[in-house]
Structure 1
């Protein structure tokens, strides 16, 4: 049996009773480790589950699935997923590959950002298409996701924007020059980076008036489901000035609202304590007197 088990969004205790019982029955336990991250490290999971947990990166899940599925016809194997098992398409692919090999699969669900985003006060049935925003890389500045935001805006619906995560990404320059795989440090898109990219696309590329720095309202959410969860609502410009802290971050672009939604959003207005502290690099106070590229990671 292959168990695909959702862990929720917080820590080791967010696993369901059913999920924990399944983990304890398994010979091998893998933790998918590139579409999202949990608020605790692997050691805490192992201590709570009473089982060794192997981190499964993109290469292992997508290219080395045979290793995960090996022997699952006769013994129990668990693939642990942060959030809900079907929050990412790669887990659906794993499900299909197991079925094709004649392996029984049981899915055990949990909370994900897709439903926990309701904690920001916006009603789930007022959301449109979910949008994934990739990190710009050099001259590669994709804007196709803008179309979904535009469709949602015209329908007066909210847009949940999931922000890019890069874990164990090969450094292309070093691969081309040395022929060796050298991996860049993990990088997690921040709300500030997401808004800056959205405004660049609106102001420099599309120019369709879907987004406005001063009037488009958004909700920034960080570490949803964890003790340090942070939710701030304001205009795009206001959120650029907020410090949201460590990952993971998500962004909601607000559509038409109900009075109850407005009352909830009012609870999350930014305060003076939420303001970002401008770094020396951001202020352009470096030795060369020029602005440095802004990059915020974990």
Structure 2
């Protein structure tokens, strides 16, 4: 059997009892280290599980499906995923490959940022389509996600922005070489995301386009959700540009229309409730 087991968002103890039992008896256990990370390392997990783990990096996940699935029709093979197994399309592709190879699989679910984001007090059913914000380069600055934010806010919905993770990314110079060289890992912060979002509306203003948000729009920054060092900040997008929420992982929310209960809960993450109300009153959708 091939198992994909969610690890949740915190430490080693967040795995489910059922998931832990499977990990302990499996023939091989892979730890996916491409789409997300935990705040603890591989060694801490191994100590808690009482067994060794095989790191599944980007190359193995995207190109080594046959290696991962080898013997899974006769032995138990596990892929451990931070959050929930269906938090990334990469894992769906792997399950399709298992199905094509007539390998049975089971999913062990867990918490992910998609539902744990409710820790800030914003109600989950008031979120629209989730977007991903990639790191920009000098020659590549995509902003296609802007239209989704526009659509969400036009309906009064919040937008969860998942921020880029670059792990084992090849350098541009090494792409022409036989031996790959990799960039140091990078994890986008809420500050970097806010800076890019502000740059986008600067362009839209110059082109006299309608704006999905402004520099005064109320945003919520989240860091290390589910861990003991979780941090949340509610402020304007402009203020978020200068915010420091510490180590990764970070997520950003651009708020839509706010229910009074949401405002009451968010107030604890702002300098004062009066300031929060003032920001909320001036951050409505611009048309």
Q: Distance in 2 between matches of 1:179 and 1:96?
A: 31
Structure 2 counterpart of 1:195: 194
The answer (yes or no) to whether the contact 1:98–1:105 under 8 Å persists in 2 is yes
Q: Give how far 1:270 is off.
A: 4.4
Contact 1:199 1:211 in 2 (8 A): no
8 Å contact 2:9–2:38 — kept in the other structure?
yes
Describe the superposition over 1:112-147 as per-residue Cα deviations: whole angstroms up to 9, x where unpaired: 000000001100000000000011012200010101
- Please say if residues 24 and 50 of structure 1, whose CA atoms lie closer than 8 Å, have aligned partners that are also in contact: yes
Give the one of 210, 221, 225 matched to 2:212: 210
How do 1:25-174 and structure 2 match up within 5 A?
Answer: 25-174=25-174
RMSD: 1.2
Are the equivalent residues in 2 in contact too, given 1:221–1:229 (CA < 8 A)?
yes
Post-superposition Cα deviations, 1:132-186, rounded to whole Å, max 9, x if no partner, equal 001101220001010100000100000000000000000012433x543100000
Corresponding residue of 1:288: none
Q: Which residue of 1 aligns with 2:233?
A: 232
- Greater shift after overlay, 261-270 or 221-230? 261-270
CA pair 270-26 structure 1, distance change in 2 beyond 3 A: farther
Secondary structure of the structure 2 residue equivalent to 1:203? helix
Residue 251 of structure 1 aligns to a residue whose secondary structure is: strand
TM (norm. structure 2) is: 0.91
2:31 and 2:54 in contact (8 A); partners too: yes
CA distance in 2, matches of 1:138, 1:128: 30
Deviations 1:12-55 (A, max 9, x none): 11000010011112010001111000110001111111111011
Q: Secondary structure at the match of 2:269?
A: coil
Residues 26 and 75, structure 1, Cα contact 8 Å, conserved in 2: yes
Does the Cα contact within 8 Å between 1:26 and 1:77 map onto a contact in 2?
yes
- Are 1:248 and 2:249 matched, yes or no? yes
Q: Distance in 1 between matches of 2:61 and 2:271?
A: 40
Matched, 1:15 2:18: no
What does 1:279-290 align with in structure 2 at a 5 Å threshold? Answer: none
- Is the CA contact (8 Å cut-off) linking 1:121 and 1:261 kept in structure 2? yes
Aligned length, in residue pairs: 269
- Structure 2, gaps ≥5 residues long: 273-287
Contact 1:132 1:145 in 2 (8 A): yes
Q: Give SS of 1:143's match.
A: coil
| Paired residues of 2:198 and 2:238 also in contact (CA < 8 A) | no
In the alignment, the residues of structure 1 paired with residue 117 and residue 90 of structure 2 have an alpha-carbon distance, to the nearest angstrom, of 22
1:266 lines up with 2:267 in the alignment: yes
Q: Is the 8 A contact 1:232 1:270 kept in 2?
A: no
Whole-angstrom distance in 2 between the partners of 1:18 and 1:33: 22
SS in 2 for 1:267: helix
8 Å Cα contact 2:26-2:75 kept in structure 1: yes
Contact 2:129/2:152 (8 A) holds in 1: yes
